[in-house]
Structure 1
Amino acid sequence: MNQDYLIEALAPLVFRSGKPFGAQAGVDGAAFPLPSSLAGLLRTLYADQQKAEFSEDLRKIPVAGPLLARRDADGKTRPLAPRPADALYLKDGGLTRVVRLSPGPLPQDTGCDLREDLLPLRMTERLDGKPVPGPQFWPLDRLMEWGAGVTVEFRTLETEGLGALAAEERTHVALDDTTLASDDGRLFQTGGIDLAPCQEAGTWQQHDLVFLARTEIKLNSTLATFGGERRLSRLHGRATGGWPGHPGDLEAKILAAKGLRLSLATPAIFAEGHLPGWLDQKTLVGSPPACPALSLKLRAVAVERWLPVSGWDLAKHQPRAMRKAVAAGAVYWFELLNVPAPGFLDTLWLKPVSDHAQDRLDGFGLALPGAWNPIAHQ
């Protein structure tokens, strides 16, 4: 049975961005926690509370998350999701608009180096605007509306979404091993994310930011050190409006459209770069690991810059090799090749789609399904 948890940060949290770190590396900027960081936290707490030994069995505990959420003063949470890669912020005169990228054939007498069986992405409206920054996190319900083809206003995202995680930088000094005094000239900085209530428009907000998690193990509410430098967080049981569920009519809409849109809520790791390894690399046909009864054909992809993923191997006491992950927010469009049995959406909603079984257990590649009509985009 699934157990839902909420993680409340009691101090700015430090998570490595994955880039080289040293005297000349500069600031290791504030980074959103990787799914493996959350998995390590929950499995460690389980071992401590159950007085269990650290073994490979702990790695078999499935963990999903972290999802960012806004928590109001009454304790109710509203999940947030990364900005989808098929949404652009363009400045049109004095107005910023959210412009959709949609799969479709190229106009006549044009071409690109994309493989022929994948559709390119095109703006759904002609707009000579300038790209501008905007909210990095959308309310989950707005993301689902966007996936269903509904236009989302930029002002709405500014009000309900999140521009960026507040960052806190700290300067550190290296110590000489012999004298235990500061080593001249060896300064470095770390960046942390601050989830506490912030000041906007001259007033303090009545909400803070928390992380949502789901796993099969039962944990007691407790203090925990999440991330680096042993910064404290508090683990709570299920919160009001905790782990999000899918809309009740979404499965019927997917079957009616005969197409599927998957947006990544957490980074995914695939053997073939941005292409899932569970797809045949010649035909681009395959089935998601969590739903083998579903036959899909990949039609289009929207991805942004890859994300470095590394960590520390506790068993071998050495750093893990760096891998390239598809960043959260990437969007994949599929054509349905069969009619799956009722209830298939339960096996896809916020379930991992990464290639390797251990990456799926760690929560890499949680997917948010939506309906997509492939015939309308041919």
Structure 2
Amino acid sequence: MRYKLTTDEVLILRDGRPFGDSGIFGGISLKWPYPQTIAGMVRTSVGLKQDECYFDQSDKREENLEKILSIGISKILPSAFLNNQWTPLMPVPADLVFTENENNEYLNVNPILYKSIEDSSGTDIKNRLWMIPSVDLRTKPAKEIPFFTHWIFFQKYLAGKLTSDTAFSFQDIGINLPIHDFRVHNAIDNNTYVTEESRLFSNNGFYMKSKSGSILIDLAIFFDVTNADVNISGDAYLGGERKRVVLTKSESEFVKIPDYFENKKFLKIILTTQGDFGGWCPEWLLPNFDAETIEWVNIPGTNFEIRLRSACVNGWEGVSGWDFAKKQPKSMKKLVRPGAVYLIEIKDVNQSSDIAKYLWGCNLFSKKNENNGYGQCIIGLAEVEETV
């Protein structure tokens, strides 16, 4: 089933960092919803559309729990309304470095090259098959870069058509952060219903529009539900603050895979949603850096053999949430940010196209979170300078 999420309200979403950290009160406000937040919204909507008391039926609790958790988010795709049409949006890849152009209206784009470790390299990595991301820069990275990239620009990146110091306007690359909203409120005394002196609290949120205000953003959601008759069109509520969003049925298609992956030795896996791997990489793909070689591994559920040769990971994000089964908050965990890049080598180059098709738009097989929309990825060509 496919739905489009839109809203004119300010969305207030927080991560799962513990209260009391330096400079943090009630968690850090998010700039964009996590996949599990969207999954929770969909499951809640499906349940309430069937029965207003769906989540309060003690005699059917276990049955309802099993049904509602079987609903899985298969794909998530944001898009922006540009030039009188909707165009898909993608995260900024971690292996692109942006520098400021002499003309302030432009950014220079510098793709990272993956190189073999040379004998003279100053590194403590024992495994000589691991490749080092490298970029030759003469200036500092740009202070402000897009929050999302346009699909047209992203296609050039996937096809390896970006060269060092290529200049693009900010608008041609993508869009900036959604409109930020910060409000300070007075606390109200429950007895007198008047403001209490020196008691303030703030809400920090965003609108699904770009800073310019002229670019609208929506979110296409693809999910599987056992009861095909359930129609969740209408109002829904997103996140712990239960901000109102609108869901409408959509004919949106996920971005289509290009046809240039035949007979490729190296490919790149790019995360388009957060990765929930328990570390910086899926455990099944993680190599042993103390070994002299990198072992081939099977993509789970297939006979395709690949191995990880390098990676560009752009940090982590904290997440918590509410555990419906245990009726308690979830413990915080760290997610890999969207845009992370994993360079893989294909054992049989004749299978490279089939591997690309298999991985395109799927998740990276984190079994415990396969239904929550985490680890969604697409595939691109890789620029490699291999000497080993």
- Give the TM-score band, short-chain normalised: 0.7 to 0.9
Query: Residue 120 of structure 1 aligns with which residue?
Result: 132
Distance 1:115 1:25 in 2: 39
The structure-2 alpha-carbon separation of the partners of 1:185 and 1:114, relative to structure 1 and needing over 3 Å to count, comes to farther
Which sections of structure 1, spanning at least 5 residues, go unmatched?
none
Query: Residue 24 of structure 2 aligns with which residue?
Result: 25
Distance 2:310 2:194 in 1: 57
SS in 1 for 2:160: coil
Q: Over residues 102-152 of structure 1, what are the superposed CA-to-partner deviations in whole Å (9 max), with x where a residue is unaligned?
A: 2102455331234523211101xx331111121121112322321221117
Q: Over residues 170-213 of structure 1, what are the superposed CA-to-partner deviations in whole Å (9 max), with x where a residue is unaligned?
A: 22344456655544333222221211476x4xxx62x4101111
Query: Residue 161 of structure 2 aligns with which residue?
Result: 150
Query: Residue 334 of structure 1 aligns with which residue?
Result: 344
1:214 aligns with 2:222: yes
1:84 aligns with 2:93: yes
Query: Residue 276 of structure 2 aligns with which residue?
Result: 269
Distance 1:162 1:377 in 2: 38
Q: CA RMSD in A?
A: 2.8
Query: Residue 370 of structure 1 aligns with which residue?
Result: 380
Q: Over residues 310-363 of structure 1, what are the superposed CA-to-partner deviations in whole Å (9 max), with x where a residue is unaligned?
A: 1111222211011111111000000011344975544311111142x2312101
Query: Residue 3 of structure 2 aligns with which residue?
Result: 5
- Cα deviation, residue 160, structure 1: 4.9
Once the two structures are aligned, what percentage of the paired residues are identical? 24
Which sections of structure 2, spanning at least 5 residues, go unmatched?
56-63, 289-293
Q: Over residues 290-311 of structure 1, what are the superposed CA-to-partner deviations in whole Å (9 max), with x where a residue is unaligned?
A: x522211000000012111211
Q: Report 1:289-304 matches (<5 A).
A: 289=300, 292-304=302-314
SS in 1 for 2:97: strand
Matched letter for residue 264 of structure 2: A
Q: Which moved more, 1:295-304 or 1:18-27?
A: 18-27
- Cα deviation, residue 29, structure 1: 3.0
Contact 2:210 2:217 in 1 (8 A): yes
Query: Residue 318 of structure 1 aligns with which residue?
Result: 328
The structure-2 alpha-carbon separation of the partners of 1:221 and 1:71, relative to structure 1 and needing over 3 Å to count, comes to farther
Contact 1:280 1:286 in 2 (8 A): no
Contact 1:60 1:358 in 2 (8 A): no
Distance 1:35 1:377 in 2: 40
Q: Over residues 149-170 of structure 1, what are the superposed CA-to-partner deviations in whole Å (9 max), with x where a residue is unaligned?
A: 1117553443351122221112
Q: Which moved more, 1:273-282 or 1:17-26?
A: 17-26
Query: Residue 248 of structure 2 aligns with which residue?
Result: 236
Question: What's the TM-score once normalised by structure 1's chain length?
Answer: 0.85
SS in 2 for 1:48: helix
Distance 1:342 1:261 in 2: 13
- What is the total number of aligned residue pairs between the two structures? 360
Instruction: Please point out which of 357, 365, 368 is paired with 1:358.
Output: 368
Contact 2:114 2:383 in 1 (8 A): no
Q: Which moved more, 1:23-32 or 1:167-176?
A: 23-32
Contact 1:266 1:366 in 2 (8 A): yes
Contact 2:116 2:386 in 1 (8 A): no
Contact 2:117 2:130 in 1 (8 A): no
Matched letter for residue 155 of structure 1: F
Distance 1:287 1:245 in 2: 25
Query: Residue 58 of structure 1 aligns with which residue?
Result: 68
Query: Residue 59 of structure 2 aligns with which residue?
Result: none
Instruction: Please point out which of 141, 147, 166 is paired with 2:152.
Output: 141
Q: Over residues 240-285 of structure 1, what are the superposed CA-to-partner deviations in whole Å (9 max), with x where a residue is unaligned?
A: x5432222x14xx2x41122210000010113x1121112643453
Distance 1:316 1:15 in 2: 22
The structure-2 alpha-carbon separation of the partners of 1:109 and 1:62, relative to structure 1 and needing over 3 Å to count, comes to same
Contact 1:114 1:120 in 2 (8 A): no
Question: What's the TM-score once normalised by structure 2's chain length?
Answer: 0.83
Contact 1:92 1:127 in 2 (8 A): no
Matched letter for residue 236 of structure 2: A
1:45 aligns with 2:42: no
